[in-house]
Chain A
């Protein structure tokens, strides 16, 4: 069974830093791209960042470039999101998400339970 378990969420002061971790199990982690997606209650999900299966390629939502960094450790089947200079608008539930390539589209096929980050 595919499992994605986030950790590291919590309360942080404005301007502070936080690193989220996601531990994966139940699949060959090193062949799948991974992502972070966040969601504020009552709103739609918002893609944050993606990393290729090898870790050599990363992509970010434009407004987050320079503050957020995604990385992975295939030996530990883990993906991380380092968040710096946090703002109140970064308050959200952050999901670790696996993506899969269909015929032509890439979609999110497994989501973690989410980690709440509160910036005040």
Chain B
């Protein structure tokens, strides 16, 4: 299966952005979705695991959810800050593919 993300989203500081991640086959609810943030020049960093769980140290401005009707997962960043400008990747798995990543979404803070 593949995970499809929008190429880019942009919004002003203080606003809210939502990034989608659509699964091509199989139910989005059948396996958990993770989200990684990659700032320019840095390695990826986990921000959401198991659909909606935040690792310690990740601000509660970051939230995750899934929508079975659209077979997609979403990452929402509220109260957008300049430091949130980064590429964001969703990741999931199935019985034959242990780690499948989306193509990434570039978040630009205007």
Contact = CB atoms under 8 A, between A and B. Distances in A.
A45 B35 CA distance: 12
Interface of A: 35, 37, 43-47, 50, 59, 95, 102-109, 111-114
| Consensus secondary structure, chain A interface | strand
B109 interface: no
B99 A104 contact: no
A111 B43 CA distance: 6
A33 B88 CA distance: 24
A107 B45 contact: no
Contact of A59 (B49, B53, B98): B98
Contact of B50 (A37, A44, A45, A103): A103
A67 B18 CA distance: 39
Contacts of B45: 111
Contact of A44 (B32, B34, B53, B104): B104
A45 B46 contact: no
